[in-house]
Chain A
Amino acid sequence: AQRVTQPEKLLSVFKGAPVELKCNYSYSGSPELFWYVQYSRQRLQLLLRHISRESIKGFTADLNKGETSFHLKKPFAQEEDSAMYYCALYVYNQGGKLIFGQGTELSVKP
């Protein structure tokens, strides 16, 4: 089965603290994973993709095939990071589609 699981509905941290948003996936093929973000009153948008191994807004995510995980990390959280974060798996069914996790709300307190 193709599935993305984000175990935490809400993650609350203080400004400057490290952040890790968890994502686990189930997929028989070679996984392509992404993080999408939705800031307050804004639309859902792509944050980063595992292929590029880039850091966007200080966030990184490493694909761990052994643990079937793609956790999103940032060493020092900022208040502007407060948002809803969705992990997504891209699968090649009917051309291609995204399977989203349920999302984790990150709240960064001053």
Chain B
Amino acid sequence: DAMVIQNPRYQVTQFGKPVTLSCSQTLNHNVMYWYQQKSSQAPKLLFHYYDKDFNNEADTPDNFQSRRPNTSFCFLDIRSPGLGDAAMYLCATSEGHSYEQYFGPGTRLTVT
């Protein structure tokens, strides 16, 4: 089945220790998104890639960066995680800019 895969599903990191979350897709979609979802809050778009073009949301902290080495993979790097960065991180894909987005299962990040 074509799908969006996120690894790991659970990630624990220490305050200030860089962490990378990964997303891969077999849908061959050209757009990949990263959302942050804190407890009982709405998923919030951090940034997205349209092919190789990176689009950052205006209010995404500089602490968050992303890489997309090829169509299938996209990474979320948190340079110096703070306690406030503990959240579920969702990766999604779409064919072109679209309201129909295909989500991965998410990675739950804990910061100790």
Instruction: List A66-110 residues whose CB lies under 8 Å from chain B.
Output: 86, 88, 90, 94-103
Chain B residue nearest to A45 in the complex (CB): B103
Chain B residue nearest to A34 in the complex (CB): B99
Residues in chain B near residue A88, CB distance under 8 A: 99
- Does A19 touch B at the CB level, under 8 Å? no
Which of B11-19, B20-28, B43-51, B75-83 forms contacts with chain A?
B43-51
Assess whether B40 is in contact with A97, with CB atoms less than 8 Å apart.
no
Chain A residue nearest to B105 in the complex (CB): A43
Chain A residue nearest to B99 in the complex (CB): A90
Residues in chain B near residue A46, CB distance under 8 A: 99-101
State the Cβ distance, A15 to closest chain B Cβ, in Å: 26
Assess whether A102 is in contact with B45, with CB atoms less than 8 Å apart.
no
Q: Report, as a range, how many residues of chain B touch the other chain.
A: 20 to 34
| Given known A9-B40, A86-B42, contact A98–B103 (CB-CB < 8 A) | no
Residues of A contacting B: mostly: strand
Partner of B103, one of A34, A44, A90: A44
- Does A32 touch B at the CB level, under 8 Å? yes
State the Cβ distance, A92 to closest chain B Cβ, in Å: 8
Interface string of B85-104 (1 = CB under 8 A from A): 00000101000011111111
- B residues in contact (CB < 8 Å) with A: 4, 33, 40-45, 48, 50, 55, 57, 90, 92, 97-106
